[in-house]
Amino acid sequence: MPRTLSVTTLAMLTVLSSAAAQDRPLPSVPQSLGLQEAVDLAERYSPLYRQTQNDHGPAAWGVRNALASTFLPSFTASGGVQYSGAGSQNFLAQSFVQASGTLGSSYSLSLNWQLSGQTLSQPGLARAQLAAADAGITGARMNLRSAIVGQYLAVLQAQDNVRLADAQQKRADEALRLAQARYAVGQTTVLDVRQAEVLKGRADVGMIQAQQAVTVEKLRLFQQMGVAAPEDPSVVTPSDTFPVVEPTWNLDNLLTEAEEQNPDLGALKARETAAVWGERAAKSEWLPTFSFSAGWSAYTQHFTNLSPVISNALVSAQQDALANATQCDYVNTNLLNPGGTALPCPASTLSAADTALITQQVQDRYPTVGLFNFGQYTRQPFFARVGVTIPIFTQFNRPLRAAQAGAQADDAKEAVRARALQVRTDVSQAYYALQTAYQTIGIQQTNRAAAQEQLRLATEQYRVGSATFLNVLDAQAASQQAEGDYIKATYDYHRAIVTLETAVGRPLR
């Protein structure tokens, strides 16, 4: 039985490959870290944001692919090498013997182009998808900035809490010294001293916890930025400050800006455009499809060993020579009239010249050529085809796809309308929350001043013996609460601005 091994290779194929990009080394965070520096580092190294950025590349290539599919034909080159061993092949009652193995190669070039309603609508669809991807990246950038600003404020608030804890520590130290001094002169009992010691211990614990909170908030900031935290996070200090000023933005102007610049709303609008193009593509399936194709091909084949082929040719020639000589002798003996001239009969064996001639003829008929010697290829006729296809009945597949695409386009339109309403609500809510936060700061500032004055009076009264140490403790608790409320109100104001910026879609300060 013959042994056949077919190996197909591709010829004239351009391979576009890119090496896997090495991760850029993470930078060291500067010791004095400004807000814009933190945002810039986050835009370069934040893993979530970089994942969103990766959507741009495929979408951009989708536009190129759609344009090429519409206006340019596809070109394909293929080739192959085939080997068939010596032996016999049986087909039903027939047997075919191959004396020598054969080795051949072939190549083909084909060109195809197709034009339909769907291909004509693909560039618009791909551009809309690219716009949607870019809008998503813009939204991710704005959300990243909001997250970085919010976490930056969390670090600043934690640092202010450390300063508050430090002030509380100093007040606790002063209260302890005062209680010890009064106890030393017999003006109070040891109970006041113990209460002061408890107050001092609580203040020390509060300081430790506040310092730990700063470290934790810095670590979270580094994580959101996408950079590695230094071994000692305390070496990095935020350098920006945020003043409290009365908000002067106009709500109507902010609503108008949000309708134009809100990234989430822009992304939904881009998706709506893509859905509309998808509906057009689905409806274009009713249009005819025009196609064109052309091709060129050639092949070559030769025996791997001519000796069996030459031997078979010589055997066949010897058999023919013997048959011819025998036939000639039979004619001379039996068919000629008595006394007639005998026919000259050929030799019954091949001469050396005949053998050499047959050998040369076989070699000329089956020359040994290289597998990829294109000059020896046998070329096939060129072919070209132009056709048109008109779908008549597709078992309602086209109406189904058109209905589905239309529903998706309507859903996208309603999603845009719903998001526009949500944006107006978010902007209005953030605007009024900012006004409330600013007013709250003024109230808390007044409360803080009153609590500080209350603590000063309680301390002086205790110093002269007209109040108890419990009054001092109550005043200190009230002062600490007022200080904490003021700090919280201040950063609630700053976060309200961040929320308003996110809803509008741009920085406001």
3-state secondary structure of 91: strand
pLDDT, residue 405, reads 86
pLDDT band at 139 (very low <50, low <70, confident <90, very high): confident
Q: Which residues contact 480 (CB under 8 A, 6 or more apart)?
A: 164, 168
Mean pLDDT of 319-327: 85
pLDDT band at 366 (very low <50, low <70, confident <90, very high): confident
How far apart CA 503 and CA 426 sit, in angstroms, is 6
Q: How far is CA 335 from CA 121, 327, 342, 494, in A?
A: 86, 11, 10, 128
Residue type, 164: L
Q: How far is CA 236 from CA 28, 32, 148, 221, in A?
A: 10, 6, 15, 11
The tokens of 209 are what? 């916890």
Mean pLDDT of 239-263: 91
3-state secondary structure of 69: helix
pLDDT, residue 371, reads 57
Class of 4-8+29-297+391-504 per CATH? Answer: mainly alpha
Q: Mapped to the 3 state alphabet, what secondary structure does 94-106 carry?
A: EEEEECCCEEEEE
DSSP track, 379-424? EPPPEEEEEEE-----TTHHHHHHHHHHHHHHHHHHHHHHHHHHHH
Read off the pLDDT of residues 50-67 as tens digits, 9 standing for 90 and up: 999 999 999 999 999 988
Closest CA to 78 of 159, 12, 154: 12
pLDDT, residue 25, reads 55
How far apart CA 57 and CA 148 sit, in angstroms, is 26
Higher pLDDT, 295 or 99: 295
The percentage of residues in the chain with a pLDDT greater than 70, rounded to a whole number, is 91
pLDDT, residue 401, reads 84
Radius of gyration of the chain (CA): 46
pLDDT over 50 (residue 267): yes
Mean pLDDT of 319-324: 85
pLDDT over 60 (residue 362): yes
- Min mean pLDDT across 62-66, 184-188, 324-328, 341-345 is at 341-345
Where in the chain are the domains? Answer: 4-8+29-297+391-504, 307-365
pLDDT band at 8 (very low <50, low <70, confident <90, very high): very low
Contact status, residue 77 vs residue 109, Cβ threshold 8 Å: yes
Higher pLDDT, 89 or 393: 393
Closest CA to 81 of 13, 2, 9: 9
Closest CA to 251 of 490, 495, 419, 430: 430
Read off the pLDDT of residues 448-501 as tens digits, 9 standing for 90 and up: 999 999 988 988 888 888 888 888 888 888 988 999 999 999 999 999 999 999
pLDDT, residue 340, reads 67
pLDDT band at 326 (very low <50, low <70, confident <90, very high): confident
pLDDT, residue 212, reads 95
Higher pLDDT, 11 or 277: 277
pLDDT, residue 12, reads 32
Parallel, antiparallel or unpaired: strands 102-115 and 289-303: antiparallel
Q: How far is CA 13 from CA 64, 76, 80, in A?
A: 20, 8, 13
Mean pLDDT of 19-30: 54
pLDDT over 60 (residue 131): yes
pLDDT, residue 27, reads 65
pLDDT, residue 6, reads 34
- Min mean pLDDT across 20-24, 86-90, 157-161 is at 20-24
How far apart CA 434 and CA 22 sit, in angstroms, is 44
Read off the pLDDT of residues 162-185 as tens digits, 9 standing for 90 and up: 999 999 999 889 888 988 988 888
pLDDT over 60 (residue 104): yes
How far apart CA 426 and CA 301 sit, in angstroms, is 76
pLDDT, residue 282, reads 85
pLDDT over 80 (residue 32): yes
pLDDT, residue 156, reads 95
Q: Which residues contact 415 (CB under 8 A, 6 or more apart)?
A: 268, 271, 272
pLDDT band at 24 (very low <50, low <70, confident <90, very high): low
Closest CA to 307 of 248, 249, 368: 368
- Min mean pLDDT across 136-150, 213-227, 329-343 is at 329-343
How far apart CA 240 and CA 325 sit, in angstroms, is 116
Contact status, residue 298 vs residue 379, Cβ threshold 8 Å: yes
Contact status, residue 300 vs residue 378, Cβ threshold 8 Å: yes
How far apart CA 487 and CA 153 sit, in angstroms, is 11
- Min mean pLDDT across 211-220, 265-274, 337-346 is at 337-346
